[in-house]
């Protein structure tokens, strides 16, 4: 079955630095991958979607890479701010659901940006 692994330990960084979060997956080749932000007691908020034919995607201070050979996605936040502190979730479409795929989520990585 498909497995998604994200850093289980919290990532603590200093304000202004770049945060890099990792998502590794096994046992299949997804057509795309999504990153979400989740704050305590709230729903996941969509950030970026990257497709298998895209190596990199950017949105403001966010950058996502997708290496289908390594089966890995990296999520970067540049010039990080305390307001970026949250849990970041990686999600892949199930391979068996057709075009409107259910998502399989990783456990998330908690990011804490310190002033």
User: Residues in the site for other proteins, rule: CB under 8 A?
Assistant: 31-32, 34, 36, 41-46, 49, 51, 89, 91, 93-94, 97-108
Whichever of 104 and 111 has its CB closer to other proteins, that residue is 104
Whichever of 13 and 22 has its CB closer to other proteins, that residue is 22
Single out the residue of 7, 77, 18 nearest to residue 48, CA to CA: 77
Helix, strand, coil % in the chain, rounded to nearest 5: 5, 55, 45
Q: How far is the CB of 31 from other proteins (least distance, A)?
A: 6
Q: How far is the CB of 54 from other proteins (least distance, A)?
A: 13
Whichever of 35 and 111 has its CB closer to other proteins, that residue is 35
Q: How far is the CB of 66 from other proteins (least distance, A)?
A: 14
Single out the residue of 22, 2, 26 nearest to residue 101, CA to CA: 2
Would you give the DSSP letter of residue 102?
A: P
Q: How far is the CB of 94 from other proteins (least distance, A)?
A: 8
Largest alpha-carbon pair distance within the chain?
45
Whichever of 46 and 79 has its CB closer to other proteins, that residue is 46
| Contact in structure between 70 and 86 (CB atoms under 8 Å) | no
Structure-token match 């089966």, residue found: 71
């Amino acid at each position: 079955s498909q497995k998604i692994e994200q850093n289980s330990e919290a990532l603590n960084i200093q304000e202004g630095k770049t945060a890099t979060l990792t998502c590794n997956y096994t046992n299949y080749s997804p057509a795309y991958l999504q990153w979400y932000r989740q704050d305590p007691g709230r729903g996941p908020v969509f950030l970026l979607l990257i497709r298998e034919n895209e190596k990199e995607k950017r949105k403001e201070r966010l950058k996502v890479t997708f290496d289908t050979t390594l089966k890995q996605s990296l999520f970067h936040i540049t010039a990080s701010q305390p307001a970026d502190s949250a849990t970041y979730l990686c999600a892949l479409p199930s391979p068996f659901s057709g075009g409107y795929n259910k998502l399989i989520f990783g456990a998330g990585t908690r990011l804490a940006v310190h002033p």
